[in-house]
Structure 1
Amino acid sequence: MSKILIRGAKVLGGEPQDVLIDGDTIAEVGTGLSAEGAEVVDAAGKVLLPGLVDLHTHLREPGREDSETVLTGTRAAASGGYTAVFAMANTFPVADTAGVVEQVYRLGQEHGYCDVQPIGAVTVGLEGKKLAELGAMHESAAGVTVFSDDGKCVDDAVIMRRALEYVKAFGGVVAQHAQEPRLTEGAQMNEGVVSAELGLGGWPAVAEESIIARDVLLAEHVGSRVHICHLSTAGSVEIVRWAKSRGIDVTAEVTPHHLLLTDELVRSYNPVYKVNPPLRTERDVMALREALADGTIDIVATDHAPHPHEDKDCEWAAAAMGMVGLETALSVVQQTMVETGLLDWAGVADRMSVKPARIGRATGHGRPVSAGEPANLTLVDTAYRGAVDPAGFASRSRNTPYEGRELPGRVTHTWLRGKATLVDGKLA
């Protein structure tokens, strides 16, 4: 059917309303709407949000299809309530040319579970030595506006300045993986009490904070936009807060796992907890939650980093860094931010849909749930509680830190421009 009536949903957590979808657009929002000619979805007690947008996803294709593909990654995204994702550039070959970003973009269009916007590499081959074809990627069919060497830091200040100057011409943004490489050689986990006790190489907070401090000053000097990927320390929060107070055009993201998990989990030596930047301390976790609540941190981004079984089921030192996150992100945010009273559901929509769409310029996403807007929507059963079972994931990889952990909330329906991609918790 071309018409869908979502009956009695709590729009942004507010009073129950009906939402009528006609084709690819929201036709009407109100109470007691007619169901004539429409498929009816009973949404009583559930929360309706604009479709989620992830500014930081690793889809691995081309080159590491054993970990994830655009198809499996977008199916995972739809399962988690996402209608748009931004695909990081650390593929094989690297997404540093118009040809590669167009390939990823077209794969997203073909599969149709969510919109895929490629992120272009800042430097050729992620090597940090020479600027990639930023202008050509922007002018391509993919229309790239976000550039990142994520997984590697653009540590050369001159290269970073040139990138900021280049993207300023077309309103783009450089998304920085803040990690001073000389300070993190051999790092295995957060530098602190736990790393000292376990004898594992430490990843100090200053390695993140020093790069952020440099880059916000460069952005101020150039008058350009900089975005901080997966911010993880209390000190980083203070630097971003200071930069915003000066009017510097900086935005920042936090991952769900950095809002919930701490370095104490590394005592198990389970490589599922090995991630970059590493899990930090309880003090850092609390600072990140407060910063997300007060707007210092702008958005939640998953840093969905799938790996095949053999890359994680090994000794700690040899294991790959990263966690899958698309299918559990909203549940973690509900537990850490909503159930603690730090955010309401309108705030969740702002941090997980409106602002990431704005930062990445994802047309048609992050829009109000109101008449005339694109029907990109997510319906959430917030009363649900259940243990995470990765066997049921749509992602090709299973490296979740939440296996067996009880989390609240479950996405039941996702609509992309009026087309159901998830129905009753099952992919359409």
Structure 2
Amino acid sequence: MDLLLKNGKVINYDSEKDTDILIKNGKISGVSSNIKADDNLKEIDCKGNYILPGLIDMHVHFRDPGFEYKEDIFSGSDAAAAGGITTCFPMANTKPVNDNESVTSYMIEKAREYGKIDIFPVGSITKKMNGEELAEMGEMKKAGALAFSDDGLPVLSSEVMRRALEYASGIGAFIISHSEDISLAGSGVINEGKVSTITGLKGIPAEAEEIMISRDILLSKLTGAHIHIAHVSTKGSVDLIRRAKDQGLNVTCEAAPHHFTFTEEELLNYDTNYKMNPPLRTKEDVICIKEALKDGTIDIIATDHAPHHPDEKFVEFDNAPNGVIGLQTLIPLTLKLVNEGIIDIKQFVKLTSYMPSVISGLDDRGEIKEDKIADITVIDPEKTYLYDKNINKSKAENSPLLGSGLQGMALYTIKNGRIVYES
């Protein structure tokens, strides 16, 4: 059935207005005031709520194929839809690695079969993510991949990264860089600094991230190719990217909610749910990330949703895997920036929907506009609730926010004109 969204505040990256939205045949058919309902329409009263373009998360881990006990495409889709997210980019560190068109196609078809969200798998840069030989990017691009990354591992060889950038550029794709000098990071598990000294946990210096970002910026300059820097976490990284943009280089980047919400201080209690890579940084770094979100240096917010089985996190800190789930906390943590006056609600949309669509070339979404596909999220910004196991749709529970009170929730998630989640 077609839909009519009434009385909501429609937010785009460049506008906000009180209006109605008519959805027909999976597309936005009209955006204007006082659209009249008829018997063929399901009407939803959105008074007091925000109506946003469906959120686009360019960095998730769905663990499927191979690690379905952590998460699979069905449960990942459920969690995304419950978080107001209509499009996801799952990373390649599956088993087998997504380094060929058959795995790419499997992931897309499984998501299409389930029908709750679109996924555009991120193919691996190198075969088996071994950093040595380029994967078949062209075949994966034909199958539906839009970007390539060995996320979770850096591409250590500058020569291989150069060729990857050139190849991806030639087929209309881009590279997402996991920027980490692992020889410098070593066996570190948290940020190197005051907290690592207090806890006795081995630290990872900020320079481990910044050195590789410097290299990748220079390779983008050399090749002219688009490189996207994943999960930026330090002030130095922001400064490097800001200078690259000032020079007109083809560089974009993202920040994850945990990197603008938490600091290394959380690790004083050794809670493995705060263990991630890159690690939580200092208060100064968090302030800088927020400023970069405000001034546009950071282009998008992406969750880096990284599910793990509870038993894997319930171990000694050094042995626990990195990562935190984040699909259902994207809205409340980003709305907190709005409530703090760091960004406004239009910037919320720009960071979580519009710019992801621009960067990835998905020009059929990212805005509420006639003839765009009807990917829409209705948010109650004032809704307070307990984020608990009943609300959590992921198979995993590795979030330090589980059991906490949050504000801001997706009431409806609409994919291709069809309601796929209703709170």
Task: Give the structure-1-normalised TM-score.
Answer: 0.96
* Helix, strand or coil at the partner of 1:27: strand
CA distance in 2, matches of 1:390, 1:296: 36
CA gap of 1:121–1:4, structure 2 versus 1, over 3 A, is same
**1:391-425 CA-partner distances (Å, limit 9, x unpaired):** 421111111121233221010001111011012x1
Structure 1 partner of 2:48: 45
Structure 2 partner of 1:319: 320
Deviation, 1:338, is 0.4
Opposite residue 131 of structure 1, the aligned amino acid is: L
Q: In the alignment, does 2:365 pair up with 1:362?
A: no
* Helix, strand or coil at the partner of 2:403: coil
Structure 2 partner of 1:106: 109
Structure 2 partner of 1:240: 241
Task: Give the structure-2-normalised TM-score.
Answer: 0.97
The question of whether the paired residues in 1 share the 8 Å contact of 2:365 and 2:372 is answered with: no
The question of whether the paired residues in 2 share the 8 Å contact of 1:54 and 1:82 is answered with: yes
* Helix, strand or coil at the partner of 1:15: strand
CA distance in 2, matches of 1:26, 1:145: 25
Structure 1 partner of 2:396: 397
**1:215-273 CA-partner distances (Å, limit 9, x unpaired):** 01110111100000000001000000000001100000000111101110101111111
Structure 2 partner of 1:18: 20
Deviation, 1:390, is 3.4
The question of whether the paired residues in 2 share the 8 Å contact of 1:232 and 1:277 is answered with: yes
* Helix, strand or coil at the partner of 1:136: helix
Kindly report structure 1 stretches of 4+ aligned residues shifted beyond 6 Å.
none
Structure 1 partner of 2:289: 288
Structure 1 partner of 2:134: 131
CA distance in 2, matches of 1:105, 1:422: 20
Structure 1 partner of 2:376: 377
What is the RMSD computed on CA atoms of the aligned residues? 1.1
Structure 1 partner of 2:194: 193
CA gap of 1:363–1:92, structure 2 versus 1, over 3 A, is farther
Aligned residues: 419
Deviation, 1:371, is 2.1
Structure 1 partner of 2:123: 120
- Unmatched runs of 5 consecutive residues or more in structure 1: none
Deviation, 1:15, is 3.3
* Helix, strand or coil at the partner of 1:296: coil
Aligned sequence identity (%): 38
Structure 1 partner of 2:59: 56
CA distance in 2, matches of 1:349, 1:390: 28
The question of whether the paired residues in 2 share the 8 Å contact of 1:391 and 1:398 is answered with: no
| 1:132-211 matches, cutoff 5 A | 132-140=135-143, 142=144, 144-211=145-212
Opposite residue 381 of structure 1, the aligned amino acid is: D
Structure 1 partner of 2:38: 36
Deviation, 1:363, is 4.9
CA gap of 1:14–1:145, structure 2 versus 1, over 3 A, is closer
Structure 2 partner of 1:68: 71
* Helix, strand or coil at the partner of 2:123: coil
